[in-house]
Each structure stands twice: as structure tokens, then as C-alpha cells.
Chain A
């Protein structure tokens, strides 16, 4: 089965809009999914400035799916969905 790729944006906008809390995923994801999910960070996914008038930062990408106003719960939900759990 293909791995699920999770990219957490730690760019300035996302970080101050709550992205700092998403660093918890660093602990949770390996524990919960082992190597089925690959976690990485990005500097700015470029989403904050496209949509800046209705900013929905922080953003996380789960494969090609964008999770906006991301929280740890929302990201885990999306991962589960993509894994077909």
C-alpha cells in the first residue's frame, strides 16, 4: 500500500495561526501509524497568500488534500480517511 504523505506548514502565517501546536504530530503520528504515514514540514505551502483575505491557516497537506484551519484532530481524521480506516 502507498504511504500517506503529510506535510505540515511551518511558514510564518501558519505558525502564528496555530501551526506551532501541530508540531505535536511529530510524536503522535509515528506512534499511531508507524511507517504507514510519512511526516514532513514545509516552509510555506504558498496557500496563505493566495487566499489571504479569508485566511484559513494553518494548512497541512495530506497527500493532495489540503486541510485548512488544521488541528491535530482534523489532520488525524484526514489520515484515517485516506488510509481507508
Chain B
């Protein structure tokens, strides 16, 4: 199971800083995701600082399995006190969740989270913990078991209180109103991604607000338990030529999305499985060879040059429109990425007459795997063949 998580936010009308703050971290090797959404007192910069401090501290505490009660006391004690109101305050929702569905949720002050399974809203049990130092603060702690296709929605009170005092919503949209919008959307688009759902909800809330002006910062944090999107990238001819056929078949039988990065690799698969590969002569591919086409394969690119550029794009975040960008998008569109790397050297690449130095494929793939794991929090497997 893959935990798809995304947060969408909108500032209070006319403010220049977000008063809600979202922080998350994924540990692909531990199959774990931690996320915090915090809402700081008031709005603007002051709220932003409170919320940001709360989120980042709480995230760190949760990551290290530090006792949640103690963490919260420490955070509440360390927040700066508002000069005007004489209090320091920020509310939060936090989740620590594993791929097997085991999740712990802690809430303080934010609207209760919404848990949806098969179009129904579940009502989980919780433990209520009173703060020792702060009389008015109570935490709710939930230990729940998520199942595939479950959804969890967290929001700041900007979402539930929108349009409060209006004729249509005297008490604001409320949690029940928000649930209606969510269930409606899920009926139309049962497989909507967390990103699209959270963006959609924030947009709807903005439309409900009188004159479309939000009176408070509004955040939606959406979680969706789904099958991981897997992809397989075959690059480089296998070391033992006699296994070409075996690897070509393994590649083609893969269920997820498939890419080939390497002209010779594409030729081998084409030869072994008798599927033509068509190289395209394109004018605007610039400094990289363009894409080829092959039935049953989602993407076919040239190898080393394209991979080198893709690595550069992944590291810098700057891209141009070319085959490397297409390959980067392909990678970022997957949750679990598998590389099948042929270890045969291409002698021609080590010709001293070549105008550029070409790096060994293995090294580039290792670097790509590293940046995908560390910067983009993907799960990556590399197999050398």
C-alpha cells in the first residue's frame, strides 16, 4: 500500500504570509510517512511563525518516536507569547503512518479529521489527554488501522468556518458541509489523487466564501491509501548476451509503466521479441537525441546523454523541453521505481576521440537513485544484470 499525501493551502484574503503550516517527511526504507498541519493564532507573519515552529518541532519529535504528550508540552511552552493577547497558541493535527496501514493521529484544536472508507465516514475511538500546564488544551490521540482505498482529510478551521454568518451558512460550512463536498467529489472521481483532491477542496471553499475572500487561512491535508504506481527502466545491454531474451521478456511482462533508456538496449529488446523500434528524426530535440517508439513501451530514449541530463534536472529542478525532461516526468510520476541496469560496457563510449567524457552508466544510475530517494522521497530498486 502506498500513502499518497498532499496539502493545499490558501492564505487569508489580503495577507501576505500563510498562518497555517504543513510539514511532512517520508522514510521509504521504513515504509513510513509523518506529517503535521498546524494553524497559528491569528494570521499573517505572527501566525506563520507559530505554526511553522509547531509543525517542524512536532515533526522532529514524532520522527524520533518521542513521547507525544511530552513533545506537545515542550512545544506549547516554547512558543512565543502574543503581546496583544498574552497567549501563545497554535493548533495542530499530526499523523504517523506506515504502509501496512498502522497509523497514529494526534489532534489539538483543529477540526476532527475525516476518515472515509467506501463512501462512508468512520467514527474512530480516541484517548483524550489533558495538558498539565495549559488548562484549556486537550489532545486527542487515535490509533487506527487504515485499509487500502481509505482516505483521511485534515483541515484547519478556516475550512469549516468559511462563510460563517452568511444566510446560507450561519455557522459556517462546518465539518458536515465539508464531508458532503468530499463525498460528492469521490463519487465522481473515486481514484482522484491526494494532490487533486486537496486542491479541489480549497478551491470549493474559496468559492463558498462571500466575495471569494477567505476570512482565515485555509488548508486541506489529504491522505489516500492506494496501490503504488510502479515503473521499470531498462538501461544498458545485459552483461551476458545469452540472457538478453530472458531480460527482454522480464521487462515486457512487467505490470507497471515501462521505459527503455538506451538505443542499443531498445535494439536488443526489439530483436529478441520481434517488436520494431522506430527512431524519430526530430528537429527540435536540441542537444539530445529525440525519443523512439516501441509498441508496449511507454517511453524510449537514448541512454547515457539523456540520463546524464535527467540527473542534472533532478538535482537542480531546472529543465528544458527535451527527452531528459520527459524521462524526469516519467520518474516523478511513479512511487516505486525499478532500474534494470545492463552492465555491459559500450566500448565505443570510451573512444578517446569523443568530444565529451561519458560517464559509466552504473554511476549515473546510482546518482539518479540517490536523488530520487533523498530529494523526491521515492522508493528505488536498482538491479545490475
**Chain A positions near chain B (C-beta within 8 angstroms):** 8, 10-13, 15-17, 19-20, 23-27, 39-44, 48-49, 52-53, 55, 57
Contact = CB atoms under 8 A, between A and B. Distances in A.
Interface of B is mostly: loop
Contacts of B355: 16-17
B30 interface: no
Given A8-B281, A43-B277, A43-B279, A13 B264 contact: no
B347 A49 contact: yes
B283 to A, nearest CB: 5
Interface of B: 263-264, 266-267, 277-283, 285, 287, 289-290, 292, 302-305, 346-349, 351, 353-356, 358
Given A11-B264, A55-B353, A49 B346 contact: yes
A69 B311 CA distance: 30
A12 B351 contact: no
A44 B263 contact: yes
Given A23-B283, A27-B283, A10 B348 contact: no
A53 B156 CA distance: 67
A9 B261 CA distance: 16
A5 B310 CA distance: 33
Given A23-B283, A41-B279, A11 B302 contact: yes
Given A11-B263, A43-B292, A44-B267, A20 B287 contact: yes
A10 B279 contact: yes
A17 B351 CA distance: 11
Considering residues B266, B347, B355, which has the most beta carbons from chain A within 10 angstroms of its beta carbon?
Answer: B347
Contacts of B280: 41
Given A43-B264, A44-B263, A12 B279 contact: no
26 contacts: A10-B263, A10-B281, A12-B302, A13-B348, A13-B351, A15-B302, A16-B305, A16-B354, A16-B355, A16-B356, A17-B353, A17-B354, A17-B355, A20-B287, A20-B289, A24-B283, A25-B281, A26-B283, A40-B279, A41-B279, A43-B267, A44-B263, A44-B264, A48-B348, A49-B347, A52-B348
B347 to A, nearest CB: 5
Nearest to B355: A16
A23 B285 contact: yes
Contacts of A15: 289, 302, 305
Given A43-B264, A43-B292, A12 B353 contact: no
Nearest to A56: B353
Nearest to B304: A12
Given A10-B289, A43-B266, A44-B267, A55 B279 contact: no
B282 A23 contact: yes
Q: Which 8 A-B pairs have the closest CB atoms?
A: A43-B263, A41-B279, A48-B348, A41-B281, A13-B348, A10-B289, A11-B263, A52-B348
A43 B302 CA distance: 8
A57 B354 CA distance: 10
Contacts of B289: 10-12, 15, 19-20
Contacts of B305: 12, 15-16
A18 to B, nearest CB: 9
A48 B127 CA distance: 70
Contacts of A12: 263, 289, 302-305, 346, 348-349, 358
A52 B350 CA distance: 9
Contacts of A39: 281
A10 B306 CA distance: 12
Nearest to B350: A52
A47 B158 CA distance: 66
